Amino acid sequence: MDIPPPTVADVLAAQRRIEGLVERTPASTYTELDRLADDAGASGARLVIKHENLQRTGAFKARGALNLLLQMSDDARRRGIVGYSTGNHAQALAYAARHVGAPCTIVMPMAPNPVKERAVRSLGADVVLHGDRLEDACAHAERLAADRSARLVSAADEPDLVAGVATATLELLQQRPDLDVLVVPVGGGSGAGAACLVAAAVAPRVRVVGVQAAASSAAHDSWRAGELLTRPNATRAEGLAVGRGFALTQRILRAHLSDFLLVDDDAITRAQRAYLTAARTVAEGAGAAALAAVLTHPALFAGARTGVVCSGGNASEAELRRALAST
């Protein structure tokens, strides 16, 4: 089914709807991060970090989940929702479901990030661990939703979710209207698709660049091929561990995305270290991917005022130890 993308009017309505339920997160600059970018070859780049790692639930996805659940009917809320996620989408759905009083079940792959699993459970959701990959969790979630007559909430093919997520880019462009380029991490693509929608409407001169882990390149490869593809899904950055392209977000990305870059897992880990040491910022792997792209592909950002989305901060202890040990 061809799902129409949300409009800027939908984004503005979402901003009003979720006001007071989410944080207006900082857009900050750091001299040390600029120095690291300059040393990497991005001469004259000036980075502006959008701190969605400081969002409620520790990631940008809370915006989308709230916008979606606040529009559900009372009957749909009573029947509840089922989601599938490696963590941040799960926490967002659990948070929003608790706010509106809806039952929530989340299917996660086996051995999830323990920080994220604990957070989902503490928000009152039922957690089901199933399969080794997100694709396995998705298939099981589909079965559970059908058995329970519950609302299955996709990780990306949800216009209301994308509209809610887009409020982060709207905020950033209000905070820093002088940006030249915006770099956004991509798993399913809701964040990058949302950024594209807003930038195209209110700041068309801003280039939006997507970033995905090379070890889980389904969205990148789908965008370049112009068709939905599946790919091996092996990145250790679980927020980017998505093995297929999604129709809605790919439609938006094909229309508006300026470029799509890949970074390897070690580059992501080094970017996590850069955040920790140069900005005193905790970023999970997905949250560090945009910075990793700047440091890995520096020529693309030289001389540019560059918005860098730190999409989440829900890093495990093992992630942080690995980051601090990296060189």
Give per-residue pLDDT as tens, 28-68: 999 999 999 999 999 999 999 999 999 999 999 999 999 99
* Backbone φ, ψ for residue 195 (5° rounding): -60, -40
Give per-residue pLDDT as tens, 280-295: 999 999 999 999 999 9
Mean pLDDT of 155-166: 97
Q: Do the Cβ atoms of 297 and 41 come closer than 8 Å?
A: no
Report residue 180's pLDDT band, with 50, 70 and 90 as the boundaries: very high
Judged against a pLDDT cut of 70, whether residue 120 lies above it is answered with: yes
Q: What percent of the chain has pLDDT over 90?
A: 95
In the chain, the amino acid numbered 8 is V
DSSP assignment string, 12-81: HHHHHHHBTTB----EE--HHHHHHHHHHT-TT-EEEEEEGGGSGGGBTHHHHHHHHHTTS-HHHHHH-E
Flag the least confident range among 85-89, 116-120, 193-197, 299-303: 85-89
Q: What's the sign of the alpha-carbon dihedral 259, 264, 268, 274?
A: negative
Judged against a pLDDT cut of 70, whether residue 1 lies above it is answered with: no
Global pTM value:
0.95
Mean pLDDT of 200-207: 97
Q: Do the Cβ atoms of 209 and 261 come closer than 8 Å?
A: yes
Give per-residue pLDDT as tens, 231-258: 999 999 999 999 999 999 999 999 999 9
What's the rounded Cα separation, in Å, for the pair 176 and 268? 25
What's the rounded Cα separation, in Å, for the pair 51 and 41? 24
* Backbone φ, ψ for residue 157 (5° rounding): -85, 55
The whole-number pLDDT of residue 327 equals 81
Both tokens of residue 77? 């809320």
Nearby residues of 123 by Cβ (< 8 Å), 6 or more positions away: 57, 91, 94, 95, 97, 98
Mean of the per-residue pLDDT values of the chain: 96
Residue 18 sits at the vertex; the CA angle it makes with 13 and 21, to the nearest 5 degrees, is 170
The whole-number pLDDT of residue 86 equals 85
What's the rounded Cα separation, in Å, for the pair 64 and 66? 5
Q: Do the Cβ atoms of 12 and 65 come closer than 8 Å?
A: no
Judged against a pLDDT cut of 90, whether residue 100 lies above it is answered with: yes
Nearby residues of 218 by Cβ (< 8 Å), 6 or more positions away: 229, 230, 231, 233, 242, 243, 244, 245
What's the rounded Cα separation, in Å, for the pair 304 and 223? 24
Residue 74, by phi and psi: left (phi above 0), alpha (psi -120 to 50) or beta? alpha
